[in-house]
Amino acid sequence: GAGVSQSPSNKVTEKGKDVELRCDPISGHTALYWYRQSLGQGLEFLIYFQGNSAPDKSGLPSDRFSAERTGGSVSTLTIQRTQQEDSAVYLCASSLRDPGQPQHFGDGTRLSIL
């Protein structure tokens, strides 16, 4: 597809379970970003990839959160032992390498922890 694709669009799971969220960036975009948007809050930066490496992981809230990117394309965000406070919309964006290029967002994954 032409845009950033995220799956699943919705995920409901029980507290304590692990979840995996997927992001397919726009073809050719080397930069990839994960954000979290909680109800009534702004966008919270989680992690940034340039190619397959993550030069900035400063936003990951705890060691339960991890992310990887393979082949310079698809990225997965994994949350282990989910907690209720992890409930949020997780958004992925991609852009060309240059920081002057615009970010393009997917529609997000709405995660609900019961």
List 21, 32, 54, 91, residue binding another protein (CB under 8 A): 91
**Residue 95 amino acid letter:** S
Phi first, then psi: what are they for 60, rounded to 5°?
Answer: -65, 125
Stretch that binds another protein, among 13-21, 40-48, 64-72, 79-87 (CB under 8 A): 40-48
List 7, 22, 30, 43, residue binding another protein (CB under 8 A): 43
Cite the beta strand spans of 1-114 per DSSP E: 5-7, 10-13, 19-24, 31-37, 43-50, 53-56, 65-69, 75-79, 88-95, 104-105, 109-113
Phi first, then psi: what are they for 64, rounded to 5°?
Answer: -80, -15
Stretch that binds another protein, among 14-22, 60-68, 80-88, 96-104 (CB under 8 A): 96-104
21 lies in the binding site for another protein (CB under 8 A): no
Interface residue list for another protein (CB under 8 A): 4, 6, 31, 33, 41-43, 45, 48, 50, 56, 59, 91, 93, 99-100, 102-108, 110
